[in-house]
């Protein structure tokens, strides 16, 4: 194990040194000697190979647990994440200096820190809600749990719904031998597709809300797509779970207990609603901004993050970590710590990929940007990229790409989506934005990193003793089950 780990680290260092020399040489002419803020590195200056560290961290997440240790990310995920982050950041800072520093500070202040605070808040509050009683994981009960999770995900967020229901699902099926399919379908439905109907459901839709998309537009525009694919997946899950259940004997063991169902810690719902209100507040009010070393941070977003932290701390105060309720809920910090460490590196190394996409036709992915014209193109390109990149900035990139191609401005978005503007280009934008939204939300289910709750649900399942598929193993499930459904969605709706 130690020799394999040493070999992998040496390989990472060699790749990092090679990349350092390459980026430094490539960016030397554009480096700003004064180290001042210049608004970030122009994505048009970045070669495609600058995303090698990002690809490296993805492959590390996928391969290291297979060749080294199935619990590699739990014990060494932070080191691996830091290694790849430094392999990218050091040459990037040497080559582009002030602009590179701005990019790094920007992605952590604007994206990563709020991302982790929201996840921490929802994880902490949901961990204080415990479903007690005799709940047996029969196909009907499991299907109802997934149905409830899918229904509430748009209103408490995919993270909130996932954290509320994943532990009850695992406890209800503790006696079952085959459990992996339960977690896989849970990720598909509750952690992703269920969040399609409001900006509260999934980060890309919230980003759209901040850029003029009316709050309830997604409810009406995406409901047919969400209902169509959800019904198929729930029916398919019931069939698969029934088959597995019968193969195991089809009998629920009687342990002599028959405790009525009840929910303890329901007062935590007030803290959960407080988090939802804080998110809505940040998208509704405009209180100006503060300049932090060149990065403009809105006061309402700072207030949102502070309120989320307060809600989490209040939840810990009234349902302490060492208390009986959280212990009965098998609550621990390990899943959120694993997510925080791994995604810290992902957010760092994702910088050049997002910059190249933002550069549009002037960047290294010009051929891709030029090729996308129809709604189905936007659906698949946004979706596939959202499976591996952060789906929120990916959504925003193609949101702006669609506006640019149709010669529209962001100021027109509310009137277009409210139906006040009905020229052909306005109607086409509605079709393109629908495709972008569905692709970003639905295809986040394709990989463990496509949406943050995926990774957290996986971590909680493994903490409970369920041996989850590897990164590529999970993708086999998504390719076999989800991709054919996405093809059908393309033909039916796009």
User: What's the half-sphere exposure (Cβ side, CA atoms, 13 Å) at 234?
Assistant: 22
Q: What is the model's pLDDT at position 37?
A: 43
pLDDT at 12: 54
Within 10 Å of residue 37's Cβ, how many Cβ atoms? 17
Q: Is 432 exposed, middle or buried (0-12, 13-18, 19+ CB in 10 A)?
A: buried
One digit per residue, the tens of pLDDT, for the chain of length 494 reads 555 555 555 555 555 555 544 554 445 444 444 444 457 888 888 888 888 888 888 788 777 766 665 566 666 778 888 888 998 998 899 888 889 999 999 889 888 888 888 888 888 888 888 877 677 888 999 999 999 999 999 988 888 889 889 988 998 898 888 899 999 999 999 999 999 998 888 888 887 887 788 888 999 999 999 999 999 999 999 999 999 999 988 787 776 666 677 788 888 889 988 988 898 888 788 888 899 888 888 899 899 999 999 999 999 998 887 778 888 877 888 888 888 888 888 889 888 888 887 787 788 888 877 888 899 999 999 999 888 876 777 787 788 788 878 888 878 888 999 889 888 989 999 999 999 999 999 999 999 888 878 988 998 898 888 989 988 899 999 999 999 999 999 999 98
Question: Rounded to two decimals, what is the model's pTM?
Answer: 0.80
Instruction: Identify the CA nearest to 444 among candidates 385, 397, 403, 488.
Output: 385
Cα 214 to Cα 167, 211, 220, 418, 424, distances in angstroms:
34, 9, 11, 8, 20
Are residues 456 and 190 in contact, defined by beta-carbon separation less than 8 angstroms? no
d(CA 191, CA 206) in angstroms, rounded, equals 16
3-state secondary structure of 404: helix
Q: What count of residues does the chain have?
A: 494
3-state secondary structure of 245: helix
391 within 8 A of 451, measured Cβ to Cβ:
yes
How are the residues of the chain apportioned to helix, strand and coil, as percentages rounded to the nearest 5? 75, 5, 25
Tell me what pLDDT residue 153 has.
92
* Direct distance between the N- and C-terminal alpha carbons of the chain, in angstroms, rounded to an integer: 49
Q: What is the pLDDT of residue 36?
A: 44
Gyration radius (Cα) of the chain, Å: 23
């Amino acid at each position: 194990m130690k020799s394999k780990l040493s070999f992998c680290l040496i390989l990472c260092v060699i790749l990092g040194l090679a990349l350092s020399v390459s980026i430094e040489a490539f960016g030397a002419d554009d480096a700003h000697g004064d180290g001042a803020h210049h608004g970030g590195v122009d994505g048009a200056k970045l070669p495609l190979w600058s995303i090698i560290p990002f690809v490296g961290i993805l492959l590390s997440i996928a391969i290291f647990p297979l060749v080294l240790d199935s619990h590699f990310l739990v014990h060494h995920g932070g080191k691996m994440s830091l290694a790849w982050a430094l392999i990218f950041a050091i040459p990037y800072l040497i080559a582009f200096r002030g602009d590179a520093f701005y990019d790094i500070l920007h992605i952590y202040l604007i994206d990563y820190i709020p991302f982790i605070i929201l996840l921490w808040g929802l994880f902490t509050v949901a961990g204080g809600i415990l479903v007690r009683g005799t709940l047996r994981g029969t196909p009907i009960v499991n299907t109802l749990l997934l149905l409830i999770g899918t229904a509430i995900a748009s209103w408490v967020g995919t993270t909130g719904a996932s954290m509320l229901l994943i532990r009850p699902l695992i406890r209800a099926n503790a006696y079952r031998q085959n459990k992996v399919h339960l977690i896989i379908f849970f990720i598909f439905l509750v952690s992703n597709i269920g969040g399609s109907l409001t900006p509260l459901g999934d980060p890309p839709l919230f980003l759209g809300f901040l850029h003029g998309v009316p709050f309830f537009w997604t409810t009406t525009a995406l409901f047919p797509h969400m209902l169509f694919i959800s019904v198929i997946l729930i029916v398919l899950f019931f069939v698969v779970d029934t088959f597995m259940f019968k193969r195991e004997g089809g009998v629920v063991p009687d342990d002599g207990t028959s405790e009525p169902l009840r929910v303890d810690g329901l007062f935590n719902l007030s803290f959960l609603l407080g988090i939802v209100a804080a998110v809505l507040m940040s998208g509704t009010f405009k209180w100006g901004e503060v300049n932090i070393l060149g990065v403009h941070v809105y006061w309402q977003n700072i207030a949102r993050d502070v309120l989320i932290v307060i809600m989490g701390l209040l939840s810990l105060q009234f349902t302490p970590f060492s208390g009986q309720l959280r212990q009965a809920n098998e609550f621990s910090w390990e899943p959120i710590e694993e997510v925080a460490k791994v995604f810290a590196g992902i957010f760092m190394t994702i910088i050049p990929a997002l910059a190249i996409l933002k550069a549009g036709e002037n960047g290294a992915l010009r051929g891709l940007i030029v090729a996308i014209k129809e709604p189905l193109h936007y659906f698949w390109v946004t979706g596939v990229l959202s499976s591996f990149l952060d789906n929120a900035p990916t959504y925003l990139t193609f949101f702006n790409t669609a506006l640019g191609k149709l010669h529209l401005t962001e100021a027109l978005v509310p009137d277009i989506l409210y139906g006040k503007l009905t020229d052909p280009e306005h109607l086409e934008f509605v079709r393109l934005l629908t495709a972008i939204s569905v692709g970003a939300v639905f295809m986040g289910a394709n990989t463990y990193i496509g949406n943050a709750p995926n990774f957290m649900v996986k971590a909680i399942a493994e903490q409970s003793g369920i041996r989850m598929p590897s990164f590529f193993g999970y993708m086999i499930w998504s390719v076999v089950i989800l991709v054919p459904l996405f093809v059908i969605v393309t033909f039916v709706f796009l």
